[in-house]
Amino acid sequence: MKKSAPSAPKQTPSAKETPQQHASQDKTDATSGASKNGREIGEQNKAYGKKLSDPKLSPEKRQKIISQKRKYNQSHH
């Protein structure tokens, strides 16, 4: 029986393609998505705070903004 020529050595995956790095990228993506949502909520709350800091704001308008903020935060947590 004739022996076949040795096969070419298998190429090892480059550092960019290792399974460990794919797993860490998945975790990073999940975290950054959550971080993005947290930043958006924080930015919206900052905007509400800026509106509420107006000293000329009537009590009725102040209460309306507080209600909007409360409703926003309840629906985004």
pLDDT tens, position by position, for the chain (77 residues)? Answer: 556 555 555 555 555 555 555 554 555 555 678 888 999 999 999 999 999 999 999 999 999 999 999 999 999 87
Measure the CA–CA gap between 28 and 22, rounded to whole angstroms: 10
Number of domains within the chain: 1
Q: Does 60 reside within a domain?
A: yes
Q: Does 15 reside within a domain?
A: no
Measure the CA–CA gap between 61 and 41, rounded to whole angstroms: 21
For residue 57, the enclosing domain spans 37-77
Q: Does 63 reside within a domain?
A: yes
**Measuring CA to CA, which residue among 61, 33, 57, 39 is closest to residue 69?**
61
Measure the CA–CA gap between 61 and 32, rounded to whole angstroms: 35
User: How confident is the model at residue 76, as a pLDDT?
Assistant: 86
Measure the CA–CA gap between 10 and 7, rounded to whole angstroms: 8
Q: Does 65 reside within a domain?
A: yes
Task: Supply the pTM of this predicted model.
Answer: 0.56
Q: Does 56 reside within a domain?
A: yes
